[in-house]
Amino acid sequence: MARGKARELAFRTLFQAARGGMDVLEVWQQVSEDLENSVENEIEEVFGDGFDEETLKFSAELLEVFANHNEEIDIKLENTLEGWSFGQMAQTDLNVLRMAIAEIDYLKDIPKEVTTEMTIRLAKKYGGEESGRFVNGVLAKILKASRV
């Protein structure tokens, strides 16, 4: 399984749902159907290799965790941010942080360091020039607070 690709697919789905003001699980259903019906070349253009069943399952699990706990995740994020509101943040940064908190808090079998590293990579890939540093700082605060 390629968890990195699964995280990226989950992030892109969450981003699409947030931008469109739609339910994330409804968007995931559409994305899943589109992936089933798309030509292999179309998927490879965006993601490289295609998706195996385990990768899609992990994406779905991340999105379900977020959908079931989005209020708690957003409260935790709001309490961690200093001097920032969700409206001021780049949507990329906001959504990669949401996915990271979902994974850290609710998928306990994944090392927090792995989640942090993969989240920073997504922020750098899709965000602005300072996204990686910003996301790293927020996640460091979240992890520090969870150890107290």
DSSP string, 65-95: HHHHHHHHHHHHHHHH-SS--TTTS-HHHHH
Task: Please state the rounded mean pLDDT for residues 1-19.
Answer: 90
User: What does the pLDDT look like over 95-104, one tens digit per residue?
Assistant: 999 999 999 9
User: What are the tokens at 14?
Assistant: 């969450």
The whole-number pLDDT of residue 39 equals: 55
Closest-CA residue to 123 (of 147, 80, 94): 94
Task: Please state the rounded mean pLDDT for residues 20-25.
Answer: 94
User: What are the tokens at 120?
Assistant: 């920073």
User: What does the pLDDT look like over 25-76, one tens digit per residue?
Assistant: 999 999 888 887 765 544 444 444 567 788 899 999 999 999 999 999 999 9
Residues 6+ apart with CB under 8 A from 74: 86, 98
Domains in the chain: ranges and CATH: 3-147 (1.10.940.10)
The whole-number pLDDT of residue 111 equals: 93
Rounded CA separation 65/107 (Å)? 8
The whole-number pLDDT of residue 108 equals: 86
Q: What percent of the chain has pLDDT over 90?
A: 70
pLDDT tops 80 at residue 3: yes
If DSSP codes are grouped into helix, strand and coil, which group holds residue 13? helix
